[in-house]
Each structure stands twice: as C-alpha cells, then as structure tokens.
Structure 1
Amino acid sequence: MRLVKKFLAVCFLFFGVPLSVVMIWDIINPKTTNKEKENAVAALAVVTVPSTIIGGWLSWSLVQQSKKEKALLLESKQKHLQFVFLELVERNSGTITVLQMAKNANISTQKAKEYLDDKAKELNASFEVNENGNILYRFL
C-alpha cells in the first residue's frame, strides 16, 4: 500500500506541478489571447491544482505515517529494554553489569551503559566495582 501511495503521489505531483506552472504562465503572459487565458484558468482549476493537492496530500500522509511508525518502533525498543532491565534486576537480586544488560537486550555496551546510567539516576542506584573491575549497578 505504501508503494502504491508513493507512486500515486509522484504521478500526481509530476503531472500537477509542471502543468500548473504552464497554465499560470499562459494566464500572466501578455501574448496569450483571452480565450486561451480562459482555457488555462479552467485547466488550472479543474485538472492541475486538484492533481497537485492530491499529490501533496498523499506525500504528507506518507510522512505522517513514517513518523508514527518510527515512534512505535522507538516505544517498542524502550519497552523491550525496560522488560530486560526489570528481568535482570529480579533475577540478580538488584545487581546488573553493563555486559549483562548489553547481552540480554541485544544492544551495544555503550547503549547499555547509557541506559543503566539513566536508570541509576532515576532510581538512586549505588555502584560497586567487582574483582574483575566491572561496574556493578545495585538497584534496591
């Protein structure tokens, strides 16, 4: 459906915009006869402007649809991270490492660290360093 919308938007815009320019040029051109100007106004009102409006509306709706899909994807990722985080907190008695978060959430260690740092600020977590030098986030 999205591909059809894109195709139609392009068709309507490629048809409407150039022909609108031509019709407007005919209307403002002093060499055009009154009859030709009337025909240009009619063509502009009946064919080219509606085509341009439809193409613009289809393009706008595609952009809005894309924004909604991106927002839903981001929300889904956030819910997944929250689920993994809560599962790790419960499973490990409140102690999580960056590596555990990265591995279980299937994200980079940098993103896992950023997420855990944000959660640590939000939930007033404490930090410890284990014998391997890894930072332990303690959420109690």
Structure 2
Amino acid sequence: MTSKSQSRHASESPTPEQLRERVEHTREELGRTVEELAAKADVKARAKEKAGDAKAKAQEAAGDAKAKVQDAVGHSRARLQDSTAHAAQRGPVPVLVVGAAAVLVWLQVRRRQQGGRTAQSVRRLKGAARSSTPGRRMR
C-alpha cells in the first residue's frame, strides 16, 4: 500500500513547471494589487483628477449659462424689434423717443467705461507732474 499512497501522493503534488506557473501568476496578482494601492495612495494625482473633473463641470455650466443668456438676448432683441416696428407704424415720434433713449443708455454706459480709464490717466499725469517738479528733484 505504500507504493499506492506514494504514487497517489506523487500524482497529487505539482510538477516544478506547475509551481513556476503558480508563482508567476501570484507575482502578477501581487503586482496589480501594489499598483492599485499606489494609485489610491497618490493624493496629488487624485487631487489633479478631481480638479480636472471640477473644471469640466464648470466649463459645462458656463456653456449652459452662455446659451441661456444668448437665448434671452435673442428674445429681448426680437421683442425690441417688434415694439420698434409697432412704434414705427404709429408714427415717427415714438421711434425717435426709442432711438433717443437707446443713445442715452449707450452714452451713459460709455461714460462709465471711460470714467475708470480717465481716472487712471489723471492719476498717472499727477504722478508724473510730482516727480518732475523742480523743488523735489534730487541734487
């Protein structure tokens, strides 16, 4: 019976080639596991990934907002054109009033935009004048 148990035991024990294959398979699994753990531990890369996701969401939201604004502007423009057309049918006076109002709004906006630039120019000129006054020059 000893020979039978030895032969059965011999047939159950893996061959050296099978052992090598098991070792190689285990190494591959271990390598994948280590890579996954390293990826989870890489806080900087994960933060960059989340920042990229947030940036993409923000760009998408900005695009949606831009589309909504463009739609609103288009509707407003259409309503303005309709009201102008109706005013034109009533006579030249309402058209002139609407035109004058548009010019006044445009002038007000332009004045505000240039106000900031004018104030900056005045400050620069005052600064240049101070540095070039004869009493303050270094001798």
Q: Which of the pair has the greater relative contact order for Cα pairs under 8 Å at 6+ separation? A: 1
TM-score by length of 1: 0.34
The structure with the largest alpha-carbon Rg is 2
TM-score by length of 2: 0.35
More helix by share: 2
